[in-house]
Amino acid sequence: MNILLLLLSVVLIILMTAKFSVHPFLALLFSALFFALLSGMPFALILTSINNGFGNTLAEIGIVIVLGVIIGAFLEHSGGAFKLAEVVLKIIGRRRVHAAMAIIGYIVSVPVFADSGFIILSPLNKSLSKKAGLSIAGTGVALILGLTLTHVMVPPTPGPIAAAGILGADVGLVMLLGLGVSAVTLVVAIIYSKTVAAKTYIDPNPEYSEEEIEEKIKSAPSAVKSFLPILIPIILIVGKSLVEFNITPSEQNAGWIEGVKFLGSPIIALIIGMLLAFLLPKKFDMEILSATGWVGKAMGSASTILLITGAGGIFGEILQNSGIGDSMTELLSGASLGIWLPFLLCAAIKTAQGSSTVALITTASIMAPLLATLGFESEMQKALIVVAIGAGAAVVTHANDSGFWVVTQLTGMDIKTGYKLFTLGTFVIGVFAAFLVFLLSLFL
In the chain, the amino acid numbered 69 is V
Q: What is the pLDDT of residues 351-389, one digit of tens each?
A: 877 788 888 998 898 888 888 877 888 999 999 999 999
* Distance (Å, whole) CA 285 – CA 287: 5
In the chain, the amino acid numbered 281 is P
Helices (H) and strands (E) in the chain, counts: 22, 0
Start-to-end CA distance of the chain, whole Å, equals: 35
Helix, strand, coil distribution of the chain in percent, nearest 5: 80, 0, 20
* Distance (Å, whole) CA 120 – CA 108: 10
The reported pTM is: 0.81
> CB neighbours of 290 closer than 8 A, spacing ≥ 6?
296
Q: Where are the alpha helices (DSSP H) in 354-395?
A: 356-367, 371-374, 379-392
Whether pLDDT at 129 is above 90:
no
Neighbouring C-alpha atoms within 13 Å toward the C-beta of 15:
8
In the chain, the amino acid numbered 207 is E
Mean pLDDT of all residues in 383-412: 88
Q: Are 134 and 94 in contact (CB under 8 A)?
A: no
Angle 153-167-296 (CA atoms, 0-180°, nearest 5)? 65
Which has the closest alpha carbon to 37: 322, 366, 369, 311?
Answer: 322
Q: Are 438 and 340 in contact (CB under 8 A)?
A: yes
Q: Which residues of 263-296 are buried (b: 16+ CB within 10 A; e: fewer)?
A: bbbbebbbbbbbebbbebbeeeeeebeeeeebbe
Which has the closest alpha carbon to 12: 256, 315, 278, 223?
Answer: 315
Question: CB atoms < 10 A from the CB of 431, how many?
Answer: 19
Residues 411, 413, 418, 422: is their CA dihedral positive or negative?
Answer: negative
Q: What is the pLDDT of residues 156-178, one digit of tens each?
A: 888 899 999 999 999 999 999 99
Top pLDDT among 301 and 96 is at 96
Question: Can you give the pLDDT at residue 329?
Answer: 56
* Distance (Å, whole) CA 46 – CA 52: 10
Q: What is the pLDDT of residues 301-315, one digit of tens each?
A: 788 888 888 888 888
The values of phi and psi at residue 42, to 5°, are: -60, 145
The 3-state DSSP class for residue 133 equals: coil
* Distance (Å, whole) CA 317 – CA 230: 32
C-alpha 135, offset from chain centre: 28
Q: What is the pLDDT of residues 12-36, one digit of tens each?
A: 988 888 788 888 889 889 999 999 9
Question: Can you give the pLDDT at residue 260?
Answer: 87
Question: Can you give the pLDDT at residue 248?
Answer: 67
User: What confidence category does residue 296 fall into, taking pLDDT thresholds of 50, 70 and 90?
Assistant: very high
Question: CB atoms < 10 A from the CB of 202, how many?
Answer: 20
